[in-house]
A and B are shown apart, each in its own frame.
Chain A
Amino acid sequence: MFEVNELILKRAKELGFGDVVVLSYEQSRRQVRFANNEITVAKNWHTQKVELFVEYQKRLASTTLTALDEATIDKALQTLLKSVKNLAPKEDYYGIAEGPFKYKDIPGTFDKAIVELDEPNEYVEVAINAALEEGAKRVAGVLYTDYNKLYLSTSNGIEAFDEGTGIEISVRAFIGDEESGHGTNSVRILKKFDPESAGRKAGEIAKLATNPIQGEAGTFDVIFDPLAFANLLSYMSFMTSAFAVEAGFSFLVGKLGQKVANEKVSIKDVGDMPNAYGTRKFDDEGVPTKETNIIENGILKTYLLNTSFARKYKTETTANAGLLMPQAWNIYLEPGDYSKDEIFGEVKHGIYITNVWYTRFQNYVTGDFSTIPRDGAFLIENGEITKPIRNIRVSDNFQHILESITALGKDLYHVHWWEVATPVFTPYVLVKNVGITKATK
């Protein structure tokens, strides 16, 4: 694929383009989807593509190529040039990274056993059986395997290669229509894969959630399960991008250097985390990934930046370049020192929420949002789960949530599934005074 990259760079230069980024992918992916305790469909994807970013006198363009013959490449570049040269320039464009860089291997991101795995269906059976053993009646979910190769070449002397694998499962268990639980397991190395734990957790929560009563509206102390809090952090990750801040999609606008969270709270983006689903050796400009403190002891330290934004704001890239805008790799909420039991012990009267979905913002700039608890949700009295509840909604403000975190578990959980698009590492989280609402008719 590097030969294709080289051809594209050469042709682009000949046509007069300045900055050029060529990102080539070879992807193989498998899916086994299941519901009602049986496989609904099994899938396979084979994808070969080139993502291309070009700049012509500060006029920017991008495209994706799937046919990689010379004629198609030439035609695409000429189309880009013809389209872009009469556009107005982006005056606040400041270029891409200057290479070359040295890249370190990141352990726990590639496993030949996943590539050679013939048929992953047995893991689905393991997960379903674990949930059924816990008392579930119906089990649904999805398993993926991934094998990706990434070839990056840029006009600034960068040539970089990354290769990764992954296997993950997401399991939801039901006892009745309204009694359910969810578990996930996402790893990059086959030996670490534990579908049984995902199924068992789903089954346990569903069992615990039997015969839920209508929840009440009001203000409650809430313990968020890692699965639930990962959802909120995943949505927040987009809001940490400098692009989202400028475009009016972030409550973090204008708050650099300010307190935006409780002092116990530190949130990082970690692009080079071993065994993490979002890990990459380098960003889309070829800058080696690293650990970036976004919020440190409650203070907002930086937005996620690429080279252009970093130069604009006279600082350093955070190695988060996507082809078009900075993006998070893996969001990491620093754990605290509470055990799970100790967190529950802090709550005299509150709610334990195991999952949420349909997180939506009333106003991105102020951070007002709501999200809907799904799967088991429980009343806590004097540190003990007393009864399952249903049909409530978390209605609050993102900054208020972060400021109201008073306890963090000591164990971290890796979460990546349909509702958590950016991989998240988070502990159990206790948030004081969370707004809860319910339907009125």
Chain B
Amino acid sequence: MHELVEFAVEKAQELGASYAEARFEEKDGTELVMKNGNPEGLGILAEKGMGIRVIVNGGMGFASTNVLTKESVLEAVKKAVKLAKAAAKLRNKPIQFSDEDFHQVFYEVKMKKDFRDISAEEKMEYLKLIEEKVRETGINVPMRFLRYGDFMWHKIFMNNEGAFVESLIPRVSVMYNLVVFEEGQMEQAPFVQRAFSGGLELIEKDQPWEWAVKDVKALQNLIKEGQKPPEGKVDVVISPEVAGIAVHESVGHPYELDRIMGREAAQAGESFVKPTMLGERIGSDVVTVIEDPTVPNSWGFYLYDDEGVKARPRYLIKNGIINEFLMNREYAAYLGMKSNASARAINYNREPIVRMANTYLAPGDYTFEELIEDIKLGVYMVSFNEWNIDDRRFQQRYIGREAYLIENGEIKHPVRKPILEITTKGLWSSVDAVGKDVEFYPGTCGKGEPGQGVPVWMGGPHARLREVVLRR
């Protein structure tokens, strides 16, 4: 396969490309689904192909094929070059890429318990264990949708500027949707996922069945004991899970430089952030947001991005100041900067575009008890169900699933669906204390055209927001 990748890059140059890259990808894995106790079936993932991206006369072309012969690859190269030439005619400014240091490297994530050695029957046991543990609670959960997935992701990337990166990254995940029915009411924990890069030892250590038990108990308790949340100005403590979705939606996304420059305008939208806002205050000085693909075993893990650039932690916000954008080579060049390895593609048939990997609020020095002890009236938001945000990433909303009243420094009864509807600046300016306990939660982040759902982690510690307005 190395030979075919190299062949593609060479042919593209022969045909006039000033820049050429080829990326082979294959994914091999398993998916198992259980619905209301019934095994729905087994899916086997076995996908491979090659994507080729070129620049000719300042225009960009991309072509992919899953017929891996020299004839088919050559045909794809020809198409990419032809498309790039045609695109160049409708460009005011030629596309240029940033200068980068490239490496020739192979890396892989090791598995202690290799899912390729485990039978489908044994993998189904993880889902059965969720079924059993939920049933043992005695709580009425009439709708239960469970999914297990694993895949080994093999990539070979080469470009005409000296990059050669080969990687092998295993990924494992478990997802559940549970509907609790109690006293004629239904509450739901939808699409809850636990996910890692690595082997099955990570699932066994994480125990998704215990997360499921915790969720159904919280939902039952919410139905039985839940009261209306306070309305108006209160203090809010957000959990790592809520901190995670907030940094993902209102920091990671608006700091994607392709979005800032308008490339995503017709799809995922633009950003309230502008290049001139680098160095501007966006939050209080306890707010630092880090984006780091190199977190070991993270769902968003990689060491080199899909343009062959070496990855590192990116500090998007440092002490409340906008510090760095997420950049690929094309958009870094617009600002006269180097890429910070933010180019990702979900498949061989997708172009690499600017994406997040693992986004988190950096820890502070408060314990959880210290965060709540001087709150006279507040809400502790443990998890959320509904969230959305406008396409400039400024007007957002998080609705609590599990949440509690805080009164005079103590956690009290559960409260129903507190609504935090707030602007990005309003949110991050309200943080006056940050915990020391970082946790991560997985997601699938959608962007691009056609859509690309990439695996990401998001998280942080607990954090305290002062005097925000809650609604019910």
Which A residues have a C-beta under 8 Å from some C-beta of B?
30-49, 59-67, 76, 79-80, 83-84, 86-92, 119, 121, 124-125, 138, 140-142, 170-172, 174, 177-178, 182, 243, 246-249, 253, 324, 357-366, 368-372, 374, 391, 393, 418, 437-441
Contact = CB atoms under 8 A, between A and B. Distances in A.
A273 to B, nearest CB: 23
A307 B3 CA distance: 47
Nearest to B178: A248
A111 to B, nearest CB: 21
Given A47-B66, A121-B89, A248 B392 contact: no
B35 A374 contact: no
Contacts of A76: 44, 46
11 contacts: A31-B450, A34-B90, A59-B39, A60-B39, A62-B42, A62-B43, A178-B392, A182-B266, A357-B391, A440-B421, A441-B427
Contact of B44 (A62, A177, A182): A62
A63 B188 contact: no
Interface string B89-129: 11111000000000000000000000000011100100000
Nearest to A63: B44
Contacts of A246: 35-36, 143
Closest 3 CB pairs of A and B: A248-B143, A60-B41, A140-B265
Contact of B46 (A43, A47, A65): A65
A302 to B, nearest CB: 20
B10 interface: no
Contacts of A253: 143
Interface of B: 30, 35-36, 38-49, 59-68, 72, 75-76, 79-80, 83-84, 86-87, 89-93, 119-121, 124, 143-145, 177-179, 186-188, 190, 261-267, 269-270, 272, 349, 351, 385-392, 394-397, 399, 417, 419, 421-423, 426-427, 430, 449-451, 468-469, 471
A35 B262 contact: yes
B84 A42 contact: yes
A159 to B, nearest CB: 24
Contacts of B419: 437
Contact of B395 (A80, A247, A371, A439): A439
A56 B421 CA distance: 51
B43 A440 contact: no
Given A87-B120, A248-B177, A439-B421, A42 B60 contact: yes
A43 B119 contact: no
Contacts of B87: 32, 39, 41-42, 121
B119 A86 contact: yes
B45 A362 contact: no
Contacts of A370: 386, 388, 397
Contacts, number: 265
A249 B265 contact: no
Nearest to A75: B46
A78 to B, nearest CB: 11
Contacts of A66: 46-49, 66-67
Contacts of A91: 38
Nearest to A357: B391
Nearest to B179: A248
B471 A437 contact: yes
Contacts of A86: 119-121
B59 A42 contact: yes
Given A80-B44, A86-B119, A439-B423, A372 B389 contact: yes
B80 A44 contact: yes
Interface centre among B40, B392, B417 (most CB of A within 10 A): B40
Nearest to B145: A247
B39 A90 contact: yes
Given A41-B61, A62-B41, A439-B421, A374 B391 contact: yes
Contacts of A125: 90
Contacts of A60: 39-42
Contacts of B42: 59-62, 80, 83-84, 87
A45 B59 CA distance: 18
Contact of A441 (B36, B79, B93, B423): B423
Contacts of A64: 45-47
B180 to A, nearest CB: 10
Contacts of A363: 186-188, 190, 385
A141 B430 CA distance: 37
Given A43-B61, A172-B265, 17 more contacts: A32-B87, A36-B263, A41-B62, A44-B62, A44-B80, A46-B75, A62-B42, A63-B44, A119-B86, A358-B388, A363-B187, A366-B186, A372-B391, A393-B388, A418-B267, A418-B449, A437-B471
B90 A39 contact: yes
Contact of A44 (B60, B63, B178, B387): B63
A229 to B, nearest CB: 18
Nearest to A358: B388
Contacts of A170: 266
A47 B349 contact: yes
Contacts of B390: 358, 372, 374, 391
Given A363-B186, A370-B397, A61 B41 contact: yes
B262 A121 contact: no
A138 B262 CA distance: 9
A61 to B, nearest CB: 4
Given A41-B87, A60-B40, A441 B119 contact: no
Contacts of A374: 269, 390-391
A90 B471 contact: no
B44 A365 contact: no
Contacts of B62: 41-44
Nearest to A171: B266
A125 B38 CA distance: 53
Contacts of B72: 46
Given A84-B120, A172-B265, A362-B399, A324 B41 contact: yes
A45 B349 contact: yes
Given A44-B83, A83-B119, A357-B391, A140 B266 contact: yes
A370 B385 CA distance: 11
Contacts of B423: 439, 441
Contacts of A47: 49, 64-66, 349
B76 A369 contact: no
A226 B450 CA distance: 22
A30 B79 CA distance: 10
B99 to A, nearest CB: 21
Nearest to A53: B41
